[in-house]
Every structure is written in structure tokens, then in C-alpha cells.
Amino acid sequence: MTAPEVLIVIVNWNRREALEHLLADLRELNYPNNRVVVIDNASTDGSAESVAAHFSSVRLVRNPENLGGSGGFNTGMRLALEEGNCSYVWLLDNDVRVEREALSALVDVMEKEPDVGLAGSGILDAAHPDIFVEVGARVSWGASTSLPLLKGESGQEAHEVTSADYVAACSALVRMEALRQVGLMDEGYFLLWDDIDFGLRFRKAGWKVAGVPASRVRHADFSLKRESPLRRYYSTRNALYFFARHAPGISERLKSLERALAGVLLFRFWGYRNFSRAASRGVLDFCRGIRGRADLRFEGSEGFHALPPGGLETLPHRKVLLFPESGKEVPPLLDELKSLASPPGEIALAAEDYKKSQFLSSGLTLLTYDIFSLGSTLRLANRILGERYDLLLSTKASFSPLLGLCNARSPVVLFKETDRLLKKSDPLMKLKYLLAVLFSKAGALLLLPWSFMRRK
């Protein structure tokens, strides 16, 4: 029996080296009945020229402008619909790395379960490639966010296929029959939340969405979730559009508005001025009905200061708490602390529950919490404040509510690439959090009519 044909669609924008690695990976797939098309979103780094010169079997389609992830994937899916000779479309980001069985495992699930319209790979942590970051996800209507499935679980062990609300478009297999019914991605998102909307539309149309742990890919950008003001703008604006369209009730709409408005103030209080401006612009553009690509620039410094001459040695550091992004960042932090003329007498580490396995080998006291639970975050914050740490060291790429609360008692040193930035302790931080909560609740009530206006 002939295996179903799969059209592999890769969206690329100025990631030549990553794209070349991915195309090399695809040559090693154990599923030969596939064709590859690269959708280039007007790259200027020679990506398209490299594909044309070195990958003759790959079809190259050049978009005249950057259409974003959703626009690029739609270009590829339109080709599949027009040609009509494939059974599935495999959507891939340009910087993903795929294992040999990644495609065959997805097709196997689709063939065995004809009611599955969309299936996604298990995404492995780039820093710890034996740990899953996500194998599909569900929407948390009460928290106005998404909840990754199998997050922090071992990628070396056998896991059941997950039932999800959506799968990340960095590696998603789409059944053509379902695509004809559901339609293409909503290009109004441009970036972020487009795949969540896409998956939920499959669910609403009666198709199942599955996360397939046997299909394994590595995606560095997905794992690190690097933040930027522009990314925060899209995240804020598009989340509001998503919940305006799909929220089951008024309380869920209010929660999404509260979360967005709280972000405006909390980023400002924490010192991320550009992030606050970005979140504010995201809320404003949502109310204005602005969608698609945004040509925004955020300038000016954030609210941090360079460390004084002498670095960490000049700050109190008898008792230190670490807030690392991943396990690989702990050894360099410890080495730097141990090299001080007077090393700390006590070092502990705070981390999200799902990352716990990354830090067990550090030998440090481990304080964990559920990032999706406000109660868990507040309980650990109170415990940390009671311990009276002299100094907090963080490698977090973005704002952390727990770290922000703990800044009420202790100064924070933010390790940002080669910089060491200092934020002095702010005794009013708890009061500021309360103000942010009150402001967000009042503001959400005022903006609720706009949520209903943006349902379509």
C-alpha cells in the first residue's frame, strides 16, 4: 500500500543557516513520499538564493513581502488545496530540527485515527533535549493563557497521544479533508496566537487535535521564549482578539482584559518601560480594531542600572537566591559566586514545577511553584520574603511575577547576555501589585463592550 503523500511547508524569513540545517534534516526522514516547499517571506539574507542553489529538489515560493507565520503557511496550504494531490500538509518553522521519525509518527496517528484533523509533534527543550516543552496544549479560559501538555516530562519515555485544543505550528500535520472544512489560518494575527486560533477552529468543527510524543522535534526559539517589546505587543493584542472570538462567557472575556491591563502596569513597575508601552499599544490597537503586521519601534532604556564598579562583590550577598531560566545557566552562576572574595554562605534556587528535573543535580535548596497558579506564586513569594535573601540573581528573559514580588525585599541582578543590570529593592512593590489588580479589574469592565465588538 502506497503511503499518503505529504506536502512539507516551511516558512522562512531571514534565517538562512537554520533553514539549511532543517532541509538537511528532511533528507534523512524515514518517510519518503513527501515534497518540500519553502515559502520565503521576502528575506534579505540570501535564504532564497541558498535554497535555489543547493536544494534543487525543493520548490521555492517567494512572497513579495513578509506575511508573517500565518500568511506564509497559508501560501503553502493554498498550493496544496489548488494542486489537490496530497493527503496531508506538514507545517514547519524554519528553525526547527526534526528527528528521522518525526513525520512518519504523525502520519501513523492520522491514518489510525481518521477523526484527528490536526496533529503536532512533541517539542523538546533545546537546552535539555530529553525534556518535553510541549506536546500539544489546552486553553485555560480562567487564566487567559495556554497550558502545555507533558511539559517537563521525559522525552525518552513512552507517552500516550494527548488530546489538545491546539498544537504549535512549528511542527503540525494538517489533514487536507479537515483543512477544506475549517479553512486557512487567520492572517490578522500575523504573529502569535494564530496557531491557537487555528487549532480551536478544528475542535469547533468536530475534528480532534492530537499531540504526538513519538514525533520529536527541537525548537530553540520555542524553548527559550525570548521576549521583546514587539513580541509583547503581538501577544497582548492577539490574546485579546482570541478571547473576544472564542471565550465561552463574560467572565472569561473579563479575565483576558484584566490580564492585559495588569501587564501594562506591572511591566512599568518592574522597570520594563518598553514592554509596558508595547502592552498598552496592544490594548489600544485591539480597541481600534487594528490587526495584521505592525510597524512599531520601541526606543529608550529600561528601568535598570548597570552594576557599580566591582560588580557583585559590592552588593550584600551572604544569602543568595537564583532565578535561572534553565538548568544550563546554573553552573556559570555558581562559578561566578564562588569566585567572589567572600562567597555566599547560602545559595538556593527558585524554579517552576515543570522545570524541577533540570535543577535536581545542582545540589541547591530548590523552591518550586506552579507558574499557572496565583496562589502557588503568592505562597512562595511570602516564603522567600520571610527568608530575607540579600540578593536575587535572575537570567529570566522576561518579567516574572514571582521575581517582581520578591523585589519588595531584595535587590535583583539581571543577567542579560553580557550585561549585569541592577534593580534596587522596592518596598512598595506589594502595594503596586494591588494597584495593578484594582486598575485591571476596573479597566476590564470599561473595555468589555469592545470585546463583544471584536467577536468576528
d(CA 380, CA 349): 12
Residue 300 lies in a domain: no
CA atoms within 13 A on the CB side of 313: 8
Q: 204 in helix, strand or coil?
A: helix
Rounded to a whole number, what is the distance in angstroms from the first to the last CA of the chain? 44
Residue 209 lies in a domain: yes
Residues 241 and 343 in one domain: no
pLDDT, residue 307, reads: 82
d(CA 179, CA 196): 15
Residues 48 and 91 in one domain: yes
The whole domain housing 343 covers 316-410
b/e code 344-383 from CB counts within 10 Å (16+ = b): beebbbbbbebbeebbeebebeebbbebbeeebbeebbee
Residues 356 and 217 in one domain: no
**Cα 390–Cα 394–Cα 396 angle in degrees, nearest 5:** 155
* Residue with cell string 510541549: 134
d(CA 29, CA 318): 53
Instruction: Please state the length of the chain.
Output: 456
Longest dimension (CA), the chain: 71
d(CA 374, CA 376): 5
Lookup: cell for 406: 520578591
Residues 242 and 361 in one domain: no
Residue 449 lies in a domain: yes
d(CA 62, CA 50): 13
pLDDT, residue 358, reads: 84
* Contact (Cβ atoms closer than 8 angstroms) between residue 304 and residue 274: no
pLDDT in tens, 81-128: 999 999 999 999 999 999 999 999 999 999 999 999 999 999 998 777
Residues in the chain where the model's pLDDT stays below 50: none
pLDDT, residue 157, reads: 79
Q: 70 in helix, strand or coil?
A: helix
Q: 337 in helix, strand or coil?
A: helix
Residue 186 lies in a domain: yes
Query: Where do runs of H (alpha helix) occur along 271-373?
Result: 273-288, 330-338, 356-359
Q: Please, is 85 exposed, middle or buried when counting C-beta atoms within 10 Å of its C-beta (0-12, 13-18, 19+)?
A: exposed
Residues 262 and 398 in one domain: no
d(CA 17, CA 19): 5
Residues 49 and 16 in one domain: yes
The pTM score is 0.90
* C-alpha dist (Å) from residue 40 to 10, 50, 116, 195: 8, 11, 29, 19
Residues 235 and 211 in one domain: no
Residue 158 lies in a domain: yes
pLDDT, residue 180, reads: 97
d(CA 240, CA 287): 9
Q: 103 in helix, strand or coil?
A: helix
Packed helices 16-26 and 47-54: angle between N→C axes, nearest 10 degrees? 30
Q: What is the CATH number of the domain that holds 123?
A: 3.90.550.60
Residues 446 and 372 in one domain: no
Residues 62 and 151 in one domain: yes
Residue 307 lies in a domain: no
